[in-house]
Structure 1
Amino acid sequence: MAVAALHAAPATLRVVSDNNYPPYLFIGPDHQPRGYLVDEWKLWEQKTGIHVELVPTDWANAQHMLLDGQADVIDMLFRTPEREPLYDFSAPYAKVTVGIYVDTSISGIDDVDALRGFEVGVERGDACIEHLKQHGITALKLYRDYNAMIDAVHQRDVRILCMDDYPANYYLYKNSAGADFSHAFEFYSSEFHRGVRKGNLATLALVDNGMRLITSEERDALRRKWMGNPVNFTPYTQIFAYALAVAGAAGIALAIWVLALRRAVERRTKDLGFLAYHDPLTRLPNRALLVDRIDHAIRQREGARLALFLIGLDHFKRVNESVGHEVGDQLIKDMADRLSGIEQTHTVARLDGDILAVTLLGTLDTTAITAAAERMQRVIAKGFAWQGRNIFVSASIGISTWPHDGDDGATLLKHADAALGLAKREGRARFRFYSASLTSEAQGLLDLGEGLRRALQRDEFTLLYQPQVELRTGRVVGVEALLRWRSDTFGLVSPDRFIPYAEEAGLIGAIGDWVLQEACHRAAGWVRRGWSGLHMAVNLSPRQFGSVNLYEQVSDALGASGLPPQLLELEITEGSLLQHGPAVSDVLSRLRALGLSFAIDDFGTGYSSLAYLNRFPIQILKIDRSFLIGLPDDARAITLTSTIVAMARNMNMRVLAEGVENVAQWDFLRDAGCDCAQGWYIGPPMTVEQFETWMSRGAPFPPGDDFHPDTPGTSTP
């Protein structure tokens, strides 16, 4: 088989690999490639008679060259889940360890979790990127090669590196940087493979067959040349070595004692370095490390906003007095663990006694920060179990935000402390912003949240229904269910106001489930009434869309109502697909198998990724109302709308235009090939009674002056 495979082989085999990886492959002082792989592929060439064109290049480019067809084989490839769909791999041939290397000015980095809040330098295309992201470490800075990474540390661009140990040791020594770095910990180990493009098994077999022709003696010679030669004692030096061993036997015990003492000192030194930046009880960052991480995040501009929550446990002294300091310490540790689970957490720290701190990082608005503070108060208020009883504590929280309340960690901490003092003076068990205006806004959101929690029990939610019409025939083919909240306290509340808070506060699940149940029961009633072809379109919020219970919620609503699944249409946004795509692809496929259809809402206003449209079972594109402004006279609007319609039809999708307000828009969309439309020209959002009356009158549009359940521009889902 090996002879047959080689007989059918190409004249030249193009091999790419990392030019930055001694002793396997690197560029020598003569600017020529050197290393184990150079000699190994020369042997392969001699054994097979096939010319090998070995191209050393940077690692990211090597992968691009293979995937783009500019190379046949890539060498020194780790096997990872992300690479599995792209490559076929040979058997492993060498094991390599990967370490985290830290600037000696930083201490306290002893495992991967300690990397949170720091930026890590990585070589472009390195498997370390995938491993770090699997552990939730996403603040990464990418460099061309190891020399560039080490230079970046000298320039203070980055202070922590993820590097394979073989080349790390070589380049640290070569750049006289060994004293500037410490090997913090071994991150992971993996094995080298040779790889080919997925499906190119003939080339992989050719490579493997040729490698098997290299003898074990030849491989041993390669290893001795590039991995080091063992010391060969002559008879005289052997005698000297034996004599030296006998002479040193008396000192072995002393050497062992010195080694044990040295290790004890090293452990103690490491502990002291850790404690310089960490709290000894919780092993969380202390005040100094918290300030450093905030400063680092601000310098790196990580995220659009940073919020610092300073959390004081109310009357904690009473806990220590009643049950003892040991139980109080356990309670502190438990609260720290609970806070670490808060979404978007950047750092959790313990500053002193009963004072904990949390920083959140991201695109945070007042709604998100308020909801996070509420969650922190709720998780702390849950009982702490001790000897068959529950100990309850509450929390006061002071909040400061960057960039509004300060430009550095020390200032933000001082202002959060001032806000915490205000929360305690006002009665404890509450939170306050350093900014009085934000506190006022947050109080309004809290009042809104209390109203939302009562709204379901008081039956304050209602659905309005806006008809969707087929442009070619004028036939009503469906309705979109639009949620409204009619509150005794707040009046008619726009979804734009309460949906974001419901999502942040964890209320959207119950509200979304009510909408699904109500819409499905209503649509099923219309089927029994004889309107059998009427589709019901229901919007899913991003949080609902990402819920692990989505399939069960939808199937329960269908089962309870008896609505045929093919009459239910779920509307999702482009942003939801980007945010939750891989996690819910299977759920969407299962729902699609039931017969449901999916629509992309407000298409064109977000990311408009054709890749996502192609990857997921989407049947309908809804053109956002903003594209219809100016139709049919505005040339830009004509071009954009016509392009979306043509693209959707080529992808076998239906198109529905939102916000049709006049007959000219109707005529243009119909002539452009748009399938359906909704808007005030057809019919406004209506109560169930108004819609049924409208349908009974033959669904005239426009419906007449007596249908004014809502106001234009408020048909927000």
Structure 2
Amino acid sequence: MLTRGHSWVNCSRDQGRGDSVTKLSTFAACLLALCLPLAAAAATRTLRVVGDNNYPPYLFIGPDGKPQGYAVDEWKLWESKTGIKVELTATNWADAQQRLRSGQADVIDMIFRTPERAATLDFTRPFATVTTGIYADRNLTGIADASGLRGFVVGVQRGDACVERLHRAGVSSLREYIGYSAIIDAARRGDIRIFCMDRSPAEYYLYRLHAQEDFVKAFDFYSDRFRRGVRKGDAATLALVDQGMARITPQERERLHDKWMGQGVDLTGYAQRFKAAASALALVGVLLLAWVYSLRRAVGKRTRDLRFLTQYDPLTSLPNRHLLLDRINHALGQPGIALSVLLIDLDNFKRINDRFGHPVADELLKQVADRLRALADPGDTVARLGGDDFVLTLRSVDVVQVTALAELARQAVARGLVIGGEEVFLSASVGVSLYPGDGETGVALLKNADTAMSRAKQNGRNAISFYRASQSAQASHFVTMGTAIRHALQRGEFELHYQPQHCLRSGRIMGVEALLRWRRGGELVSPCEFIPCAEELGLIEALGEWVLGTACQQLALWRAAGASTLRMAVNLSARQLASPGLVAAVQSALARAQLPGDLLELEITESALVGTEAEVVTTLEAIRALGVHIAIDDFGTGYSSLAYLRRLPVTVVKIDKSFLEGAPEDPAAAEVIGAIVAMAHALNLTVVAEGVETERQAALLGEIGCDLAQGWFYAPAMPPAQIADALIPSPPENKNAAARPRPHDGATGT
């Protein structure tokens, strides 16, 4: 047909019929272009379409177990217009996309076009605009945009475009579910408190699952337009779908819309009939509507107020005893739950009431409530029982963690409070009960926490008491240690010792590791005793900044004395790594000491990197951008994941001392060390071995290619004055292992 048309055009010049023949040729070509896709598809006889099976009103599974919805009826119309059979499969959204990618389907319906999908799919013209929202537990406030989602676990449907959007917004803690109803079920169980969902199915399932009172839309995340997609390059199917949909008339689409999205009420005839009556009653109607509206608002407000008062304290807006017990009992119903209840009572609060009066004292209670609220994790509860009694719950029964929270609560109350223009100081007594040892119900746990709080008051107030005496003794030691650490920071009782790191090829000292010591009353306190306490009580940031600054200043002094290439290694705790001010602290320490970044090395334990959040990765990359080296400490004692070695800006791997035990006599130990060294070198990483205690261990490390080593074979950790001679003039000759000092407790580098 194209050949015939072409010959007609050529002949037209001789026969004088150019205009009419050209028009005929053009019409024929257009007709052919329209008909070819339909004809080609008709030969296949079936178009395989897939879609999401839980997306009302477009496509969902009806009571009879069959697909129904707007899309079902629309594809039936398409089928009647084209004469091509449609095989519509409704399945979960992730499976629908997989079917298209694997060739089990030709078209996927109701899909957003995203940059990631555009790499493998082509799309039709858009046909509907959809809004996607972030929904949250009604009691969870303060989430207004995507930045507020960081730190929360967000529920998403597997395969949703919302996953890509959240990742681009920096939200990485996602939990995927097979469908929207599964998300809401998980939220009602308390597995998640925030989820991402398109508006139409959200409204449908929240109502159907009786959860509309439990969750609210925090904000509209984004809007996008539905399209239909085909595999990349399948232009024929794409044209076929668009042409078939174009044949559906506006009237047919209006009927579909009325059926599935609701019908408008046509009052045209009635409007003519009652026009006169409506005009006469217009003023009365307006007044009546205004009265009804105001009445409904008053009733609605009163209903909300009553509902609020049944569950919340009207003064502080904290949960009351009723809601607290409900939440505790709900938590206790979850398998494997660990729960502590902390009852906080303000000491001598009656004196505040007597002196300032109740209105002013109420303002003080609000300030206390705000401070306690700031201490609670998202999954825990802060409540007011009445009077000056507050409750904190914690999903842990570890005595150290619980004591740390109780101590933070005590300190929060003890900070000066301003009321009536005057600063006042309070103290608090805290009683603690643990599930299940101190009670198996919310009522029992509260009762026993109150008993423990009364004991704290009997012992002099301003104290922490557990329901069981043995736990109170542990808590007392922990709190005493915390107070001592604060005083030690103020009095300058901390000091740094330095352990050299030797190059196994040249024998030279290439670096030192700074190790924290506490000289208390003339004796050194083991870091194992005070570091965990400092971490739990939030003192590790201040302590860590002091270590970082002191180590950099000491390195600057050694550089001025001639040790120009020496590198300083400083340990970071997991809490320091999560601190938002870490990068600024590193910059400040380097600037004050006037040190180049490549002479500083920050050591992070392997366990601190497991499940690393995006914020931590960003922090490490920012530190590495300063030139500072990143070392994985105690490598091999945790998950030993190659993933984070490749993904994170790591430059050094430190082999834990436990691998050297038994070496070189144990061939297996030597093989493991060799494998770690080979793996690290393959990734272009420097390898440091810790805990070297014998000459044979040092020789083995040299043979297998380890770069640096430290341990008692070379030298213990020493104060700056003792190690200076070794660092500045020249490295000392290796001595016989038998002549070296031995550790009194087997420790190396702690």
TM norm structure 2:
0.77
Is there any run of 5+ residues in structure 2 with no aligned partner, and where? 1-31, 144-148
In the alignment, does 2:69 pair up with 1:35? Answer: yes
Query: Which residue of the partner structure matches residue 358 of structure 2?
Result: 325
Query: Which residue of the partner structure matches residue 341 of structure 2?
Result: 308
Query: Which residue of the partner structure matches residue 646 of structure 1?
Result: 678
RMSD, aligned CA: 5.1
Query: Which residue of the partner structure matches residue 488 of structure 2?
Result: 455
Q: CA deviation at 1:353?
A: 0.7
Matching of residues 417-436 of structure 1 within 5 Å: 417-436=450-469
Query: Which residue of the partner structure matches residue 533 of structure 1?
Result: 565
Compare CA radii of gyration and give the structure with the larger one.
2
Cα deviation 1:580-633 (Å, max 9, x = unaligned): 642243443333233221101112222333332222211111122223333345
Output the CA distance in 1 between the equivalents of 2:712 and 2:238. Answer: 67
Distance 1:697 1:182, change over 3 A: closer
Matching of residues 685-696 of structure 1 within 5 Å: 685-694=717-726
In the alignment, does 2:500 pair up with 1:467? Answer: yes
Alpha-carbon contact 1:119-1:160 (below 8 Å) kept:
yes
In the alignment, does 2:590 pair up with 1:558? Answer: yes
Query: Which residue of the partner structure matches residue 401 of structure 1?
Result: 434
SS in 2 for 1:598: strand
Aligned-partner residue type, residue 559 of structure 1: A
Distance 1:152 1:315, change over 3 A: closer
Query: Which residue of the partner structure matches residue 327 of structure 2?
Result: 293
Alpha-carbon contact 1:687-1:709 (below 8 Å) kept:
no
Is there any run of 5+ residues in structure 1 with no aligned partner, and where? 102-108
Output the CA distance in 2 between the equivalents of 1:511 and 1:82. Answer: 45
Aligned residue among 407, 414, 422 for 1:389: 422
Query: Which residue of the partner structure matches residue 93 of structure 1?
Result: 128
Aligned-partner residue type, residue 382 of structure 1: R
Output the CA distance in 2 between the equivalents of 1:703 and 1:517. Answer: 36
Aligned residue among 497, 511, 514 for 1:481: 514
SS in 2 for 1:393: coil
Query: Which residue of the partner structure matches residue 662 of structure 1?
Result: 694
SS in 2 for 1:595: coil
Aligned residue among 679, 698, 712 for 2:711: 679
Aligned-partner residue type, residue 352 of structure 1: G
568-577 or 662-671, which deviates more: 662-671
Cα deviation 1:335-354 (Å, max 9, x = unaligned): 10111111536111000111
Aligned residue among 209, 216, 223 for 2:257: 223
Aligned residue among 103, 123, 140 for 1:112: 140
Q: CA deviation at 1:385?
A: 2.4
Matching of residues 233-312 of structure 1 within 5 Å: 261=295, 264-301=298-335, 305-312=338-345
Distance 1:537 1:18, change over 3 A: same
Query: Which residue of the partner structure matches residue 21 of structure 1?
Result: 55
Output the CA distance in 2 between the equivalents of 1:37 and 1:599. Answer: 56
Cα deviation 1:190-238 (Å, max 9, x = unaligned): 53445899xx998999979976984893754543343234345695x77
Output the CA distance in 2 between the equivalents of 1:47 and 1:59. Answer: 27
Query: Which residue of the partner structure matches residue 337 of structure 1?
Result: 370
Distance 1:500 1:65, change over 3 A: farther
Distance 1:114 1:194, change over 3 A: same
Aligned-partner residue type, residue 476 of structure 1: I
Output the CA distance in 1 between the equivalents of 2:363 and 2:236. Answer: 59
Cα deviation 1:225-274 (Å, max 9, x = unaligned): 43234345695x77777799799988887677567545544443343232
Output the CA distance in 1 between the equivalents of 2:304 and 2:260. Answer: 35
Distance 1:24 1:579, change over 3 A: same
Alpha-carbon contact 1:73-1:195 (below 8 Å) kept:
no
Cα deviation 1:33-57 (Å, max 9, x = unaligned): 4433456678899999999986532
Q: CA deviation at 1:134?
A: 14
Cα deviation 1:77-109 (Å, max 9, x = unaligned): 6899999999999979323476979xxxxxxx7
Cα deviation 1:303-324 (Å, max 9, x = unaligned): 6x43322111122222222222
Distance 1:134 1:298, change over 3 A: farther
Alpha-carbon contact 1:87-1:195 (below 8 Å) kept:
no
Output the CA distance in 1 between the equivalents of 2:277 and 2:122. Answer: 53
Output the CA distance in 2 between the equivalents of 1:73 and 1:531. Answer: 69
In the alignment, does 2:383 pair up with 1:355? Answer: no
206-215 or 318-327, which deviates more: 206-215
Matching of residues 695-710 of structure 1 within 5 Å: 698-702=731-735, 708=741, 710=743
345-354 or 118-127, which deviates more: 118-127
Distance 1:375 1:72, change over 3 A: farther
Aligned-partner residue type, residue 286 of structure 1: N
Alpha-carbon contact 2:712-2:741 (below 8 Å) kept:
no
Output the CA distance in 2 between the equivalents of 1:411 and 1:307. Answer: 12
Aligned-partner residue type, residue 475 of structure 1: R
Alpha-carbon contact 1:397-1:432 (below 8 Å) kept:
yes
Output the CA distance in 2 between the equivalents of 1:401 and 1:431. Answer: 14
SS in 2 for 1:456: helix
Query: Which residue of the partner structure matches residue 105 of structure 1?
Result: none
Q: CA deviation at 1:20?
A: 0.8
Query: Which residue of the partner structure matches residue 545 of structure 1?
Result: 577
Query: Which residue of the partner structure matches residue 571 of structure 1?
Result: 603
20-29 or 639-648, which deviates more: 639-648
459-468 or 639-648, which deviates more: 639-648
Cα deviation 1:441-500 (Å, max 9, x = unaligned): 2222222223222323443222222222233443332221111112107x3211121111
In the alignment, does 2:411 pair up with 1:378? Answer: yes
Aligned-partner residue type, residue 539 of structure 1: N
Aligned-partner residue type, residue 687 of structure 2: V
Matching of residues 491-530 of structure 1 within 5 Å: 491-530=523-562
Aligned-partner residue type, residue 130 of structure 2: K
Distance 1:606 1:64, change over 3 A: farther
Aligned-partner residue type, residue 442 of structure 1: A
Alpha-carbon contact 1:476-1:699 (below 8 Å) kept:
no
**Matched residues, percent identical?**
47
In the alignment, does 2:626 pair up with 1:626? Answer: no
Alpha-carbon contact 1:119-1:141 (below 8 Å) kept:
yes
Output the CA distance in 1 between the equivalents of 2:537 and 2:91. Answer: 50
Distance 1:125 1:499, change over 3 A: farther
In the alignment, does 2:443 pair up with 1:415? Answer: no
Aligned-partner residue type, residue 679 of structure 2: M
Aligned-partner residue type, residue 517 of structure 1: G
Aligned-partner residue type, residue 424 of structure 1: K
Output the CA distance in 2 between the equivalents of 1:396 and 1:606. Answer: 39
Query: Which residue of the partner structure matches residue 711 of structure 1?
Result: 744
Output the CA distance in 2 between the equivalents of 1:143 and 1:520. Answer: 49
SS in 2 for 1:601: strand
Output the CA distance in 2 between the equivalents of 1:572 and 1:204. Answer: 53
Output the CA distance in 2 between the equivalents of 1:560 and 1:129. Answer: 43
Distance 1:365 1:71, change over 3 A: farther
Q: CA deviation at 1:129?
A: 9.3
Output the CA distance in 2 between the equivalents of 1:153 and 1:569. Answer: 43
Alpha-carbon contact 1:310-1:355 (below 8 Å) kept:
yes
Aligned-partner residue type, residue 278 of structure 1: Y
Alpha-carbon contact 1:309-1:359 (below 8 Å) kept:
yes
Output the CA distance in 2 between the equivalents of 1:559 and 1:635. Answer: 47
Distance 1:56 1:548, change over 3 A: same
